[in-house]
Amino acid sequence: MSQHSFLSVAVLVSLVSGCAITATDEHVGEARDDLGFSVQDASIMLAFVNYPATDFAVLDVPVGLDRRAANAIITHRNGVDGQCPSDDDAPIESLEELDSLAYVGTSALQKIATYAAMHPAPQPELVEGVELAGWQSEAVIWGVNQASLQELDDVVALDVRAAGNLFANAPFESVTAMGPMGYVGNSALKKLRSYATIWAAKMLGNSAAGNYDGVYFDTDAADVALTIANTATAYQMKLGGGMWITSGHTVVEARPYASLAEVAATKGVGKSTMRALQEFATSDQWPWSGVCAASVAPGNEPAVTQYDAGLDAYEPYSYAAHDLRAWSVPTCASIDDPDMLDALQAKVITLAGWDYIVAQWPENLEYDAVHVSTKEFQSMLDNSLDRAKNWRDIKVADGVPNAAAEYDALAAHKATIDALVSANPDSNFAFTIHLEALECSHDATVFVDFASGIAIGIRQPTSC
């Protein structure tokens, strides 16, 4: 692969003095059929003009084009946002298309051919079925060689094993050399190629300062805001910059971004979203220190443990009793963060053992988790004590010793649980689970209070 770097083209600008040549035979938009260049020449010329490091300054001075021709080429190639590389780039596909641009004619084409032959753009690579343009290859090589393990794993989103192998074996001289690394296959290479636009922009040192949807970002704020847009969760954007949670999800779903202009151009992103990004980027909250992992662990709520054990012991047939369990959950979480709630649901279901039915009846399972108010949880909890009360009446009638006292102890434990449920109405929620498989069904409700860091699950009796 050519060792020609992004910076080498730019450096040539400072080594060549003089003014740009003013061509007299250039035309305005006149397409020509026979341009007299070989297929190989045309390929080298097109690769050069589409190469991100070929900017106005390079075309103007080292190449020596008319400034108007240089401007026409860069404006066409860079697209509306004026940046290259970015999603709205319009690569020049043929010499006829290049020749048709304003002020580009015979003289300009010859100058481009001469310069490109001496300073060719990097060559493309085909690795594991993934084709990378020359500039993409160069950007990936640069990016992988300087990236941290965290960037490769969390930001580029590679498999942790692929990220580890690339990090441990860097530096690389080509993307082809990355292919044999363990777990660096088609999927990993596509992710690296997608991230090439971001690495390319960093290589070029493009200043991202400017107004985006009417919100001004200086260079530092723009760089931080782009990192936030590419890595922060929607909930972090809400807490850090006051962004609407729906806007945060819009930003997250359109990742990755090569520039802040791409963020601003995303459908559903407007001035308020960009303002929130700017405020987050200029606050002291990034890098984000309030990372909130969706961790769920067995909890220590004596009332829940004692109430569950009491129900099992109190009813003559323990399989028919309600089952309860308590867990600890992160106090940093919120009911406004759907990703966190989904993660908690999955972990709570697994910890509770409610997923065992899936293994027994995988083809006859219906699963539905619906966020509801805590009334559903309270109703199922009340029902558990009502069943115990019915057994109390039967036991008292049959003269069972201590039946009334044992029931009173159960009621006291339930009252403690009731107090936990009603303690923080603004920070709690519940979700219901219904599992249906053949002749067996499960119904359960999980109460979650992030302010107190507790979750309580109750499972209705089943005959399974």
The residue among 324, 326, 433 whose CA lies nearest residue 381 is 324
Query: Quick check: helix, strand or coil at residue 86?
Result: coil
Provide the residue type at 195 as one letter. Answer: Y
Q: Are 258 and 201 in contact, with CB atoms under 8 Å apart? A: yes
Structure tokens at 197: 């636009």
Q: Are 397 and 456 in contact, with CB atoms under 8 Å apart? A: no
Q: What pLDDT, on the 0 to 100 scale, is given for residue 170?
A: 92
Whole-structure pTM value: 0.45
Please state, in angstroms and as integers, the Cα–Cα distance from residue 301 to each residue in 325, 335, 416, following that order: 9, 22, 10
The residue among 75, 71, 62 whose CA lies nearest residue 14 is 62
Please name the residues in contact with 452: beta carbons below 8 A apart, sequence gap of 6 or more.
331, 420, 423, 424, 427
Tell me the average pLDDT of the chain: 80
The residue among 401, 339, 342, 404 whose CA lies nearest residue 370 is 342
Q: What pLDDT, on the 0 to 100 scale, is given for residue 234?
A: 81
Provide the Cα torsion 110, 112, 113, 119; round to 10°.
Answer: 150
Provide the residue type at 123 as one letter. Answer: Q
Q: Domain-by-domain residue ranges, the chain?
A: 6-118, 125-204, 210-281, 297-459
Rounded CA gap, 72 and 37, in Å? 21
Residue with tokens 């003289």: 107
pLDDT in tens, the chain (464 residues): 333 333 333 322 222 222 222 333 444 444 444 678 999 999 999 999 999 889 888 899 889 999 999 999 999 999 887 888 887 889 999 999 999 999 999 999 999 999 999 989 988 999 999 999 999 998 999 999 989 998 898 889 899 999 999 999 999 989 999 999 999 999 999 999 999 988 887 887 755 666 677 777 777 888 899 989 988 878 788 888 889 888 988 998 888 887 887 888 888 898 899 999 999 998 877 776 555 666 677 888 999 999 998 888 877 644 456 888 888 887 777 666 666 666 666 666 665 566 665 555 555 445 455 566 788 889 999 999 998 888 888 888 988 888 899 999 999 999 999 999 888 877 677 777 666 655 566 677 888 888 888 889 888 776 55
Structure tokens at 104: 């580009």
Rounded CA gap, 246 and 253, in Å? 11
Q: What pLDDT, on the 0 to 100 scale, is given for residue 220?
A: 80
Rounded CA gap, 199 and 175, in Å? 14
Q: What pLDDT, on the 0 to 100 scale, is given for residue 446?
A: 84
Rounded CA gap, 464 and 383, in Å? 19
Rounded CA gap, 395 and 389, in Å? 10
Rounded CA gap, 307 and 409, in Å? 9
